[in-house]
Amino acid sequence: MSYELASGRGWVRVYTADTPAEAWHIRNVLEQHSIEARLRNETLFGATGEVPVLESLPEVWVRIEAQVEAAQLIREIRSRPARGAQWRCRNCGEVSEAVFAVCWQCGVAEGE
Ligand SMILES: [Zn+2]
């Protein structure tokens, strides 16, 4: 964890994920939209299988200027159904899981 993140200066937490994979996905989507994102606590999940305490859940942080846009994107991501068919990006042809609102490859939203 960097000092900058530890201090929180200029950065805000926009999301607390249930799993590291979810946090990584959200970071990927944000970065595809040119929003710099960083994760905290992503590596605290050990091999012990213990359920982490709330404070150690992975968090997604962005620069404060990007907070509103990031929150909107995350809301889109979260509004997707957790299960369902895969879909194929109309822009680049990449296949994404239904849980993802935007293409992994190019960041274009489903149906655009
Ligand atoms: Zn695409």
At 65-87, the pLDDT tens digits run 999 999 999 998 887 655 556 78
| Res. 97 pLDDT band, cuts 50 70 90 | confident
Query: How far is the centre of ligand 1, averaged over its atoms, from the C-alpha of 73 (Å)?
Result: 16
Q: Is the same domain home to 93 and 70?
A: no
Centre of ligand 1 to C-alpha 22, Å, is 19
The verdict on 58 and 28 lying in the same domain is: yes
Structural domains of the chain, count:
2
- This prediction's pTM: 0.57
Instruction: Report pLDDT for 1.
Output: 45
Are both 71 and 85 inside the same structural domain? no
Q: Are residues 65 and 102 in the same domain?
A: no
For residue 7, is pLDDT > 60?
no
> Do residues 72 and 104 share a domain?
no
User: Same domain for 97 and 72?
Assistant: no
Q: Which residue has the higher pLDDT, 74 or 9?
A: 74
Residue ranges making up the domain that contains 33: 3-79
* pLDDT: which is higher, 95 or 112: 95
The full 3-state SS of the chain, as one line of letters, equals CCHHHHHCCCEEEEEECCCHHHHHHHHHHHHHCCCCEEEECCCCCCCCCCCCCHHHCCEEEEEHHHHHHHHHHHHHHHHCCCCCCCEECCCCCCEECCCCCECCCCCCECCC
In the reported structure, the alpha carbon of residue 83 is separated from the centroid of ligand 1 by a whole-number distance in angstroms of: 20
CA 103–ligand 1 middle distance (angstroms): 5
Query: Do 20 and 32 share a structural domain?
Result: yes
pLDDT of residue 55: 57
| 24 shares its domain with 69 | yes
pLDDT at residue 79, rounded to an integer: 79
